[in-house]
Chain A
Amino acid sequence: EAEVAQSPRYKITEKSQAVAFWCDPISGHATLYWYRQILGQGPELLVQFQDESVVDDSQLPKDRFSAERLKGVDSTLKIQPAELGDSAMYLCASSFQGFTGELFFGEGSRLTVL
Chain B
Amino acid sequence: RKEVEQDPGPFNVPEGATVAFNCTYSNSASQSFFWYRQDCRKEPKLLMSVYSSGNEDGRFTAQLNRASQYISLLIRDSKLSDSATYLCVVNPPRQGGKLIFGQGTELSVKP
Chain A residues proximal to chain B, CB less than 8 Å: 2, 31, 33, 35, 40-45, 48, 50, 55-56, 91, 95, 99, 101-103, 105-108
Task: Please provide the chain B residues from 73 to 92 with a CB less than 8 Å away from any CB of chain A in the complex.
Answer: 87, 89, 91
Contacts of A106 in B (CB 8 A): 43
Q: Which residues of A contact B6 (CB under 8 A)?
A: 42
Chain B contacts of A105 at CB under 8 A?
43-45
* A43:B44 contact, CB within 8 angstroms: yes
Whether A45 touches B49, Cβ cut-off 8 Å, given contacts A2-B43, A91-B43, is no
State the CA gap A56–B95 with chains docked (Å).
9
Complex contacts, A91 vs chain B, CB 8 Å: 43-44
Bound Cα distance A45, B87 (Å)? 14
A2 to chain B: closest CB distance in Å?
6
Contact mask for chain B residues 46-68; partner A; CB cutoff 8 A; 1 contact, 0 none: 10010000000000000000000
B100 located at the interface, meaning its Cβ lies under 8 Å from any Cβ of chain A in the complex: yes
Are A44 and B101 within 8 A (Cβ)? yes
Q: Which 8 A-B pairs have the closest CB atoms?
A: A42-B101, A105-B43, A102-B46, A42-B103, A99-B97, A43-B101, A101-B34, A41-B103
